Structure 1
Amino acid sequence: MNRLNNILVKLSKRYASKWLVLLVDLCLVASTFFLAYLIRYNFEIAFDFSKFLKQIPFVLIAAAISFMVVGSHKGVVRYTGVKDVVNIIVGINLLATLLIISTYISRKYNYDSIFDIAGSVIYIHLLLNIFFLIGAKFFIRSIYHSIISDKSFYNLEHHRILIYGAGNAGMVTYDAITNDAKSNIEIFGFIDDNSKKVGKKINLLEVYDSKHITTDFIEKHKIDEVIISIQNISSERLLDITKEFLDKSIKVKITPPVQQWIDGELQISQIKDVRIEDLLGREPISIDNPILIDEYEDKVIIVTGAAGSIGSEIARKLTKFNYKKLILIDVAESPLYELQQEFIQDEIKRFEVIIVDVRNTVRMDQIFTNFNPEIIFHAAAYKHVPLMENNPYEAVSVNISGTINMSNLAIKYGVNKFVMISTDKAVNPTNVMGATKRIAELYISCLNHKGKTKFITTRFGNVLGSNGSVIPLFKKQIENGGPLTVTHKDITRFFMTIPEACSLVLEAAAMGNGGEIFVFDMGKSVKIFDLAVNMITLSGLKYPTDIDIKITGLRPGEKIYEELLANGENTRPTYHEKIMIAKSKEIDTQVVLNQIIDLHETNPKCLTLETVTKIKEIVPEYISNNSKFEALDSKN
């Protein structure tokens, strides 16, 4: 039995040649042609058999031409679907048309009788071809499916599922599962909230009301999993459904939005466990803008901070364009090496990886000389609020001096665009990190129009799953049995997925003309406490019974609420609904520039209080919160 299984496994990995498929189809056409004659003559050889034999080569040539024109022989038989059936029918009808035309010409011009085929035979032949050619393919497909769906074939266990959603999306999910012979998934039925669908059957499977799916029902029918297949489902409804079935010890998965389907079709591999990102109500962003193609076409592009969460994703998205050269810069050796290996594995060409500190003027000058970049995405920065609160020198050194160095070189070498990645913590900052990012924003805005370089700022909130963010922390705490730590019960944050944020960065960079601060639509702010509870729920556990949440108190410099616009700022729209331009209040450019240069030059002295005092002078809205630097505010 094991030997048979091994043979079947090997055969299942091989695909029949398209020419073999064509040959089989032609054999069937020849057989049905003979059968058509038999049916026409009441299953008696009461026709000119020698003439019939002479007609077969002509019929086969016409069939070969017809099938090759429509490409019906190119389909993979084991995956025969509706499109393949349509192709076969078109090919068969084309064959019948050729035979009718040849018969008409033969009779009109008294041509060779070989081309004169009775109309009744052609019609019967057409019907038989439809039946046998389509039937043969579905027969082979069913044999293949029945063989490899045997749980012993891949040593896998069957599991039984319900599809939540009996609409179009549910049917697409049904097709994706049933067309994947290796899935070993048995669909038991559908669930739907529409009372008009409940009790009816789809593909012989019953549609149930969710109230009917009790613990007894699940145990009786051995249901293992529920797949939610509802497009545009609200995050609240998704959470309700997920919680309902997780409480019944049932796994819950979800199909992705239609924008993420591969070539317009759902693949079973895309059906994933419900993640916390799915519960945040973030609509997927699909950026298909031809402007971006022209923007990055044949350009030399530098990405600083390329080993970080944002920098690496920007780099990945840039690889989709036909750039001239992509230079990835970071001081973090290991993660930059990992990104390099990822690109090599994906066979990405024309990229360079360089270990360098953006503060190193001489080294960076060499890089600019060697590569002559045209676009810079400046993502290099320190971002952890508590760490920077205790290390103001480093925050100024990287976030401000690094930006000064890169932007000055951009002007010197005539870079076309300089795009800085900023943060919502730069708005009315309460900590050193946010204030230094605000100063970096101010510096590049002061440089605008000082050369050909267009300086652009993109500002957004927290990104899901980034290095050091709250979600990976919560996951680790759940794995360790808890408790989850939240600094304040009312603390909220804006969230965006990393791919979403980076897509918007590339879009904003393309539309920027210099001097803009682009603000992204972050949606509704999320209560971190609720986020923690939802993550516990998604893990199949209960709060506070299984895992508790501990309130630890605000960290130095931490806000309860984040903002995307500073006092005196408002926005104006762009052509992209999720990207706005912040209309900033006027500043005295020369005064601010001098203050920033002074901070840049005095920072190496490592005089912490003097450094933070200068920061507060440049950013008067910077009021420390829960920090040792609050004393400096009382002096002002």
Structure 2
Amino acid sequence: MKKLKDAFSSLYTGDNVVKLTELRYIPRWTVLFLDLSIAFLSIFISYYFIEKLHVRVNFPEYIYIKIAIIITVNALFMFVYKTYAGIIRHSTFFDFFKIILCSGSTLSVLLVINFIFSLDVGKPLFLYPNLFLYFFISISIMFFFRMVIKQMFNILIDYKGSSKIRVAVVGVGDASVSLARAILHNPNYPYRLEGFLTKRSDSNKALLLGRKIYNIDKFFKDKNLVNQFDAVLIIKEIMSKQELVEWMTCALDNGLKVLKAPTLSKMRESDFVGGIRNLQIEDLLNRKPIRIENEEVKKRHSGKSVLVTGGAGSIGSEIVRQVAQFEPSVIVVVDQAESPLYELELDLLEKFPHQKFKFVLADISNSYRLEALFENYQFSMVYHAAAYKHVPLIEENPHEAIFVNFLGTRNVAMLSKKYKVNRFVMVSTDKAVNPTNVMGASKRTAELFVQSLQGSEGNTTKFITTRFGNVLGSNGSVIPHFKKQIEKGGPVTITHPDIIRYFMTIPEACELVLEAGTMGSGGEIYVFDMGEPVKILDLARRMIKLSGFTPDEDIKIKFIGLRPGEKLYEELLSNDATTVPTHHHKIMISKDPCLRFSEIEMLCKQIIKSAVKRDKLQVVSILKEIVPEFISNNSEFEVLDKKKIEVSDI
């Protein structure tokens, strides 16, 4: 009521447009009053027509009683069908249908009254043409009234929305129309619907929700037309990756922003505005996610004790979240990063209040600290995600890679064997394949050690390794790095114009880890179909455009050269490896060369001693002995490869 009062009072203040559009709905009693007024008007119009036709009405002396009967019956059915309950500016065919039911029911009752009255008196109370005229006139005026109010609100909203973002909704399907209608009918949204875009060429002259439908080819050829819009709005869920890239390219090349919206079925209307966001580069890199629905995964975790090392990291924390859904008896989360571990604890206790967690601040290179956990919790599943992963840092500090990536893995794996853990699953990387840096070589050494344990004496644990590429949005990955550089105004730094990488999502990576933990029989290295590689230069250009800037003009791209140990492309399989398919067409087993436990254990003791002494060259030299395919690239350790070649020549 206050809103209505404010709207009418604003007629005197000159701010009536804004106030009226802020009015959420006309009170129901007002709509009922207006409908009854329309009914009253319809009676007089019908009588006016009858009079002009020179037809005498029955019982003219009871005219006011007859009007009262019509209004009373009509009002009764207005309450029955609640014709006054709908929000007028959102009127649809359903509201029109209710009006027809209401007026039709009124007509039926009046016809019954007329029939009974004629049986008793000899002639009907109402003229039948009069009743049918009233029926059609009242329906028409009530519907016309609603359409006028609805159109008036649309005009006022458009007037108020002159400073809003002018959007073209992509598509003319049900989802797109629902999205457009939500924008059109809510004045609080910061968007103004200007039209629709489609690939179809048969809709050029058609209107949808009162807006034009433009063919994509003709639209982007007309610069004056393009300038009437600020952004295109897409629904990501109804598009393929190829369509998404195509629409994004067309929009960005013509200076338009690209916005994405969820389907209305996935979001409450009150949250809808917050659901519209700028298209992110992750949306374009996302392949169709692999959903692994395996009842065995749930059985392996439900009611079991689970350990996750590196649990505060990007991969580790997602593993913890996914495992928590299977209700294990306890999840022990180990990490040496204090603040991330504490933040994870707060998050998990809020999201999984009934799940038992144990958060342990520990270094996995300390076997005594770890053994207390194994002894206490008797783990059934161990997920080993703890590792150092930044190539340049590890190249400078190879001994630290030995302590964490190798010795830490050795400790967790040996304890898993000792305490007869059912399954040990290690998270590895594609950088372990034909490594050109210490980080990759240290992970390959860890892979070899874990594989060697499978056939070692007295072992009952299934040792499994998963190997995949870069993870979207993980800590320190390229996309968050580029975002920060763009926010600062550039430049965006790329090591080499031809560098390419594979990408996958964090949930997808963790689903692979969980699946591998259940499908493996021990000793396997699982590799993943990563899809098509992405050129990092193209990635940077797209991110700059999506941020509303022009590459090399607003934001510069700078090439800084390959970092120590970095290579142009990553591989998932070594040169002499073959693959074996699994029951899932996207997951394969890599048949890599293996070492016996006695062989690698002797070399491991040597490399650990060298790491303790901080002897960089000796550490890397032993790494190259363990991993013969390790050839350093753009690194100080290339000298070791030259010596190796000289010795072999002799």
- Could you tell me the TM-score, scaled by structure 1's length? 0.74
User: 1:608 & 1:181 partners in 2: Cα distance?
Assistant: 66
User: 1:476 & 1:513 partners in 2: Cα distance?
Assistant: 44
Q: Which structure 1 residue ranges, 5 or more long, are not aligned?
A: 15-20, 22-41, 65-74, 97-126
User: 1:360 & 1:156 partners in 2: Cα distance?
Assistant: 65
1:452-491 → structure 2 map (5 Å cutoff): 452-491=460-499
- Cα deviation 1:282-331 (Å, max 9, x = unaligned): 22333444333323212222221122121122223333332222222111
1:13-24 → structure 2 map (5 Å cutoff): none
What residue is the counterpart of 1:544 in the other structure? 552
Aligned length: 576
Matched, 1:325 2:299: no
What residue is the counterpart of 2:359 in the other structure? 353
Rate the CA distance shift 1:484–1:185 in 2: closer, same or farther, 3 A.
closer
Determine if contact 1:149/1:182 at 8 Å carries over to the other structure: no
User: 1:550 & 1:611 partners in 2: Cα distance?
Assistant: 34
What residue is the counterpart of 1:504 in the other structure? 512
User: 1:453 & 1:81 partners in 2: Cα distance?
Assistant: 66
1:300-311 → structure 2 map (5 Å cutoff): 300-311=305-316
User: 1:629 & 1:77 partners in 2: Cα distance?
Assistant: 74
- Measure how far apart 1:279 and its partner are: 2.6
What residue is the counterpart of 1:418 in the other structure? 424
What residue is the counterpart of 1:443 in the other structure? 449
User: 2:538 & 2:390 partners in 1: Cα distance?
Assistant: 22
User: 2:628 & 2:508 partners in 1: Cα distance?
Assistant: 32
- Measure how far apart 1:262 and its partner are: 6.0
Determine if contact 1:149/1:184 at 8 Å carries over to the other structure: no
User: 1:368 & 1:482 partners in 2: Cα distance?
Assistant: 48
Determine if contact 1:169/1:230 at 8 Å carries over to the other structure: no
Q: Percentage identity across aligned positions? A: 43
What residue is the counterpart of 2:219 in the other structure? 212
Determine if contact 1:374/1:416 at 8 Å carries over to the other structure: yes
The one of 251, 271, 279 aligned to 1:274: 279
**SS of equivalent to 1:580:** strand
**SS of equivalent to 2:230:** strand
Matched, 1:580 2:588: yes
Determine if contact 1:378/1:420 at 8 Å carries over to the other structure: yes
**SS of equivalent to 1:599:** helix
What residue is the counterpart of 1:105 in the other structure? none
Rate the CA distance shift 1:349–1:602 in 2: closer, same or farther, 3 A.
farther
User: 1:4 & 1:384 partners in 2: Cα distance?
Assistant: 61
The one of 383, 392, 402 aligned to 2:398: 392
| Residue range with higher mean Cα deviation, 495-504 or 552-561 | 495-504
1:185-264 → structure 2 map (5 Å cutoff): 185-210=191-216, 211-212=218-219, 214-219=222-227, 221=228, 223-229=229-235, 233=239, 235=241, 237-255=243-261, 261=266
- Cα deviation 1:38-82 (Å, max 9, x = unaligned): xxxx99999xx9xxx9xx9xxx9xx99xxxxxxxxxx99999999
User: 2:203 & 2:467 partners in 1: Cα distance?
Assistant: 46
Determine if contact 1:616/1:622 at 8 Å carries over to the other structure: yes
The amino acid across from 2:415 in the alignment is L
Matched, 1:343 2:351: no
What residue is the counterpart of 1:608 in the other structure? 616
The amino acid across from 2:402 in the alignment is V
Determine if contact 2:324/2:352 at 8 Å carries over to the other structure: no
What residue is the counterpart of 1:166 in the other structure? 172
The amino acid across from 2:191 in the alignment is I
User: 2:87 & 2:612 partners in 1: Cα distance?
Assistant: 71
User: 2:405 & 2:277 partners in 1: Cα distance?
Assistant: 38
**SS of equivalent to 1:414:** coil
| Residue range with higher mean Cα deviation, 226-235 or 335-344 | 226-235
User: 1:424 & 1:231 partners in 2: Cα distance?
Assistant: 30
Q: Which runs of 4+ in 1 moved over 6 A?
A: 42-46, 75-82, 148-152
Q: Which structure 2 residue ranges, 5 or more long, are not aligned?
A: 8-18, 29-57, 106-134
- Measure how far apart 1:348 and its partner are: 3.7
| Residue range with higher mean Cα deviation, 266-275 or 551-560 | 266-275
- Structure with greater Cα Rg: 2
| Residue range with higher mean Cα deviation, 275-284 or 513-522 | 275-284
User: 1:76 & 1:298 partners in 2: Cα distance?
Assistant: 52
Determine if contact 1:307/1:330 at 8 Å carries over to the other structure: yes
Question: How much is the aligned-residue C-alpha RMSD, in angstroms?
Answer: 5.2
What residue is the counterpart of 1:25 in the other structure? none
